[in-house]
Amino acid sequence: MKTLYFEGAGWSGADISIATIGNCRIRTAFHLDNGRAVYLEMTGSERTRYSTELYQWQYTGFVHYCHYITNDNPNDDCNRYNIHLKASDRIFEYTETEILRIVNGLGASFDEIKVVPDLGGYRVFPKKNSCSGLDGYNYGDEFRFNPELLRRRKKVYQNIYEVEKSEGKEYPNFSLWVDEKDPGVLHLLRHFSGYNKHFIIHIDVGNTLADWLCTSKETHLGRCGW
């Protein structure tokens, strides 16, 4: 199976995310059969009694960005190399089947599309060298999803969540994300009164939660949170 992965860039806990493809905002970068690279971003919305005629389905998708990726001026590709889509591709039923149709209609030949869940490890935009500007893309057709690593990451997340609840936080507010270069490493940012602490955790060591937590080490968090 030739799979194109999308980053879940919205709130996975939203009603529409749960009811549809796993996220209400998705984005990816990928290659067409002729080798050209494309960036695609879309969102889904639920029809309500206040919705306009644009909402043809219970869950309607909208393409926000669809453009070729070049080396000329990546930060301006969305303006200079925009791909003009027909109406049925700009507004569509928010399903995996319809998204696959749109992707392949651009000149690709994928068998399926999948939205990577929270902590799945795919981010379309790589770590930047500065706080602004674009520094290339991570491609969804080159990403390799690892369900075992996702299972381990979720166990660590649940543990930290329970720790913060036990400390009296009604709403735990830590951040946990996957290292860009090493999928076996997690970054944990915990927020305290007036300061933060950043830790790295190796989940590719051993087989139990205790093994992974034993690797936790406080480190400096670089500029802009990277």
212 contacts: CB under 8 Å, gap ≥ 6: 152, 155, 156, 201, 202, 203, 205, 206
Q: Distance between CA atoms of 159 and 156, rounded to whole angstroms?
A: 5
- 8 Å CB contact between 14 and 118: no
141 contacts: CB under 8 Å, gap ≥ 6: 2, 3, 4, 5, 30, 31, 110
32: tokens are: 């067409």
Mean pLDDT, the chain, rounded, equals 93
The structural domains of the chain, with segments of one domain joined by +, span: 3-116, 147-225
Q: Distance between CA atoms of 162 and 156, rounded to whole angstroms?
A: 10
Nearest to residue 42, comparing CAs of 128, 126, 101?
101
pLDDT tens figures, 149-186: 999 999 999 999 999 999 999 999 999 999 999 999 99
180 contacts: CB under 8 Å, gap ≥ 6: 123, 126, 127, 138
Judged against a pLDDT cut of 80, whether residue 192 lies above it is answered with: yes
pLDDT tens figures, 115-143: 999 999 999 999 764 454 567 899 999 99
Q: Is the pTM of this model over 0.95?
A: no
User: Percent of the chain at pLDDT above 90?
Assistant: 83
